[in-house]
Every structure is written in C-alpha cells, then in structure tokens.
Structure 1
Amino acid sequence: MSTRRTFIRQTGALGALGMLGTPTLAGSGFRESPQSASSSSRWPDGSRLVVSVSMQFESGGQPDNAESPFPQNMLPGFRDLPAATWYEYGYQEGIPRMLDNWDELGIKVTSHMVGAAVLKNPDLAKEIVTRGHEAAAHGMNWRSQYSMTYPEEKAFVREGADAIRKVTGFNPVGYNANWLRRGDNTLKILKELGFKYHIDDLSRDEPFITRVEGQNFAVVPYTLRCNDILLIEGKNFSADQFAQQVRAEFDQFYKEGATRRRQLSISFHDRIGGTPQMVKVTHDLIRYMQQHEGVTFKRKDEIAEVILSEP
C-alpha cells in the first residue's frame, strides 16, 4: 500500500496546493510562510529524531487557592494552606530532583519560568541556567493575557522577561502563554520585544516558520499528549501509564523520522514531574530513547535557531 506522501506525489496534489497560495490569518498579525508547509525535510545535523523537554517553573507564582488536587470547596475569604504546600513542593523538591536527573542523563532542557516564581526563588532560577538549561518566559504571573489590551499585554510579557533577565542573566528568546492561550496581539508583541519563538501551538510535530510583521518567527510546537499536568493531574494517569504513552509516541516518531523531520516534546511541571516516581520512570524512558541511533536532545532555543537559519 502506498503512503499518503506517495499518493500526493503521484496525483500532483502537492502542486495543486501550491497554486492556492498561502493563507493570511485574519486578525492574527501573522501568516504562514510557504516553507512552513514542508514536512519532507530532515534535521540538518543528521538527527533522525529530536526530543525537546520542557520543565515548567511556575510554583511560587500561583495565586491564592489555585487549582490543586484538593477539592475546590474552600469557603470565601480563606486560604487553602495544604494546596499551597503542594505548590511549594515544586521548588523545594521537584525542580532540584529533576535537575539532578537531567545531569545524570546528560541532557539540557527548556525551563518556562513565571516571573513571580523566579523572584520568589532566585537562587533556584539561577541554578537552572548555571546547569546549562534554557530560561524561557512564561508571563509575569498566572494571569490570562489573551483578554488584555495591547499595552497591558506588552507590559505583562516584558515584566516577566525582565525578572528572568535580572535574576539569571539569561536573555529569554522563547515564550509560553498561560495554558497556551495567547491573544491576537501576542506574536506581534513578542517580536517587538526581541523574542525569536513561541510554543503555543499544537498543530504539528515539527518546528516551522511563521511570518510576523513581515519577518520570520519560529514556532516550536508544544504537547498535550506527553504532558504531565494533563495526563497525571487531568486524567489521573499513573507514572507507568505516562511513560507508556510517551514511549509509544517516541516509537512512532522514530519510525517516521527515517523520511521526515520529527520533534518529540515532553512537558514536566515542577510539582508533578519532579515527584520521585515520575523522575524514576522519566530516567528509564530517556535511557531507552538514548539507545536509539540518531536521537538527539535539544533545548527549544536551539531548535528555533536551526529553522531560523535555514534558507
């Protein structure tokens, strides 16, 4: 049986698509470039599959009574103290444990940092960068920015990035909105503030280029399928079930990687992915991946540089 790609080539559908031109997305301030539609390219460094790990640094920046495993039944005017300790676990235990795991595995990750969390735990934020990981921006706090006015949103993004820059000395070039919910102005604001990429996109399994104000801007897709907050907290997966799902995704991507560019994204949150059982299964999972020829681990700023440097 021929593959979908072979079928498209044989029927000339690819050429027909090219005649349609590239669509402009109304109200978004950007459009896809022609080269972003290509799925047949390979990684220029010869990688068969690139794995990109996210480590969300959010705890300490959450509002009072933020969503937690505890029932959302607190009376008005009271603070959910046990829930606050659940978040505290993220910076007391979770991130330090994950950092040791990344070192032992010999990989570097991207840490999406909430500005308020960085200011509350500056030494930990600095340690993440000192140990060779990328600091990416994740807003100043947990506010949703899609409903902000243009000036409000720009100040919000700038404040969060400035907190990272001031504390760690790292200049963030990547961005992740709260629950990926950017607004119509977000990409234009990111471009104006010197960012190079964002991750708030689930449309593809490879990075691509979009046009923002007439210039190239990178999209390094995120994941919900391999995301601990969705699977562990949202769907009550066990650590083993999480690892099984990610491994299945890896196996399929590795197969596809023989003929096309593939990126496997995995996301861990400080108070979830940093628990002992999650770190253990993650260690075993990544060792499994490292046994496969042509698998490389890249930070998201590295991935963005790869595709921005291509013709």
Structure 2
Amino acid sequence: MTNRRNFIKQAGIAGLAGMVAPNLAFAKDSPVTASLATAEKIKWADGSRLVVSVSMQFEAGGQPDNPESPFPQNMDKGYKDLPAATWYNYGYKEGIPRMLDNWDKLGIKVTSHMVGAAVLKNPQLAKEIVERGHEAAAHGMNWSSQYNLSYDAEKKFIKDGADAVKNATGFTTVGYNANWLRRGENTLKILQELGFTYHIDDLSRDEPFIIQVNKKDFAVVPYTLRCNDIVLIEGKNFSADQFVNQVKMEFDQLYAEAEFKRRQMSISFHDRIGGSPQMVKAAHDVISYMQKQKGVSFKRKDEIAQMALKDKTTIRE
C-alpha cells in the first residue's frame, strides 16, 4: 500500500509539474523523474499506450434444446422452443458474417471463442473466421457445465472442443473460455497439460498477468462483464447507444490511466447479439473513436498472452 501511495503521489506531482513548471519534469533529482521511469517499466513492450481486445463468441448452433433466450421461460415440458432456436440461428446466418465484414472495415483482428458443437454444425464459417486473420479459441465442446465434471471427463470435454476447432479450421487453440467463465478446480491444470497458454475466465485485473500452473507460467488475459453485449444488451436491455456510451466511458478512463501503467480493455460480442445491425453499427462507431486516440492498438488474445509471457515486468501472482 505504501508503494502505491507513493506512486500516486509522484504521479500527481508529475502532472502538476507539467502544468506549473514544464522544465521541472526533467530535473535530475526530482521525484517526477523516478515516477516516469517507473511508468516506463510497466507499459506495453511494443510501445502501445492502451491495448484493446475484442472477443467474438461463436456459440450459435451449439446450444441445447430450450436454451436461455429473450423469450419467456414458460414452455410446457416436452416441447421445443422453436422461436428461440431461430434467435440462435441468426448468429451464424447473419451475425458473424456481418461482424467479420465490420472487423475488415475497421482493420482489426479479434479472438473468436468457439463452442465445439457450433463449429461442427458450421465448419466453413469457423474456417472463414481463421482465414480472415482472427484467432480461434476454445470454448468447450458444448454448453454443458464443466466445473462439476471429474478430471478425466473435463479433460475430454475440453479436448473434444479444441479438436473440433482444429479439424475445421486448421488452427491450434491456445486460449480457453469456460461456459459463463465457470471453470473448475482442475481446469487450469488440464489446460496446461493440453498445451494451452492462457485463459480468460478472470475479472480481477485490467491488464494481463501470469500465474503458475503445474509449476509452469500460464497467462491470464482478463475478460469483461462491463463491456459485454450478453450482459448489457440482453441481460439489462440496454439500447445500442447506451452500450456505446458505457464502452466509451470505460475506454476514456483506461486511456487516462494508461499514461502511467499497463492497461488492457476488453469488449465482448456474441454472434446473435453483437451481430445485429444496430450493434455492429455501435461497434463500428466506438472502435473508430478509439482508433483516433494516439497509442491505441487492437490485439488478439493469443498475441496479448505471448507479450505478457515474454515481458519480465508482467505481474505475477
């Protein structure tokens, strides 16, 4: 706590020095010099001021019968919720193709977390995502929970999903996202054994960090619920402009903090939600705004994980 207080105090002096006496910031023995030196050590190795990571969930087609949806959960037992199924179908028929075109227009690459069963149903679409330069990450074999599985059953569940992605796209997954982030006690050990290098099921920081799994380095690339369409648009009935405003405010704050420390911003879009016309327009507007700010870069999560693993200044827990 003392170190953090001193750093904040020094950072405040640095800002004050820039306003009152610009030359003070370069004084040989001033506290500002130490503050800036510290800040330099914790920025991104490639010189980025702020790194933005976009997720595109590929789930449609992998859902069970009568899944969660915007429709009332009042179906009689024994009947299928056919309208809800069409809501999911929109994700691969319209949503992902529209988002892919949008990413091309913006010139960014994203990470697509792919459910194995969804990939098996639409292998050509999964392949197209990779062919257009995006990362394919694993998202389980289906929508079943995995935290309650035995070690062997969970290992098969993860591997089957990863194999489905590999067979359809040729891409070897190195990142993982559990259903609703609910991994189990054995998940990380299994991921390390299967050759994964990072997971995203963590909300505890606004920058990547490294943990030890099976006595080896393993990267954590934090996810988000704050800038997530399934939470805000579907879950809280936000309008598209409310979503833009919230994401923009998050960006502005992180961009300001990024002057002094390494910051990562995450945004998440789901095929059937983020791929709707108004949400694609919202994504285009807010990302275009970010791209106008100096030092902002957009990276796939596998790229962020590799940067974190190679950087000696990355936080370790």
- Tell me if TM exceeds 0.5: yes
Amino acid at match of 2:156: A
Q: 1:198-236: CA deviations, max 9, x gaps?
A: 000000000000000110000000000000000001111
1:29 aligns with none
Amino acid at match of 2:302: D
Bigger Cα Rg: 2
Runs of 5+ consecutive residues of structure 1 not aligned to the other structure: 11-37
1:270 aligns with 271
2:281 aligns with 280
1:43 aligns with 44
- 2:79 counterpart SS class: coil
2:152 aligns with 151
CA shift at 1:309, angstroms? 1.1
Equivalent pair of 1:39/1:261 in contact (CA under 8 Å): no
CA shift at 1:310, angstroms? 1.9
Amino acid at match of 1:176: N
- Larger helix proportion, structure 1 or 2? 2
Amino acid at match of 1:7: N
1:119 aligns with 120
Kindly report which structure 2 residues correspond to 1:185-200, keeping only aligned pairs within 5 A, or say none: 185-200=186-201
1:306 aligns with 307
d(CA) in 2 for partners of 1:189 and 1:39? 36
CA shift at 1:39, angstroms? 11
CA shift at 1:9, angstroms? 7.8
d(CA) in 1 for partners of 2:111 and 2:211? 21
1:73 aligns with 74
d(CA) in 2 for partners of 1:127 and 1:263? 27
Kindly report which structure 2 residues correspond to 1:1-311, keeping only aligned pairs within 5 A, or say none: 5-7=4-6, 41-311=42-312
- Using the size of structure 1 for normalisation, the TM-score is 0.89
Q: 1:262-311: CA deviations, max 9, x gaps?
A: 00000000000000000001101111000000000000000000011123
- 1:281 counterpart SS class: helix
CA shift at 1:7, angstroms? 3.4
d(CA) in 1 for partners of 2:176 and 2:160? 13
d(CA) in 1 for partners of 2:178 and 2:93? 24
Amino acid at match of 1:74: M
Q: 1:13-59: CA deviations, max 9, x gaps?
A: xxxxxxxxxxxxxxxxxxxxxxxxx9961000110000000000000
d(CA) in 1 for partners of 2:228 and 2:141? 22
Equivalent pair of 1:229/1:272 in contact (CA under 8 Å): yes
Equivalent pair of 1:40/1:259 in contact (CA under 8 Å): no
Q: 1:152-185: CA deviations, max 9, x gaps?
A: 0000000000000000000000000000000000
The CA RMSD measured in Å over matched residues stands at: 1.7
Aligned length: 283
Amino acid at match of 2:61: G
Amino acid at match of 2:299: K
Amino acid at match of 2:118: A
d(CA) in 2 for partners of 1:63 and 1:152? 19
Amino acid at match of 1:77: G
- 1:258 counterpart SS class: coil
Equivalent pair of 1:161/1:172 in contact (CA under 8 Å): yes
Q: 1:221-255: CA deviations, max 9, x gaps?
A: 00000000000011110000011000000000000
- Using the size of structure 2 for normalisation, the TM-score is 0.87
Equivalent pair of 1:40/1:261 in contact (CA under 8 Å): no
d(CA) in 2 for partners of 1:9 and 1:54? 32
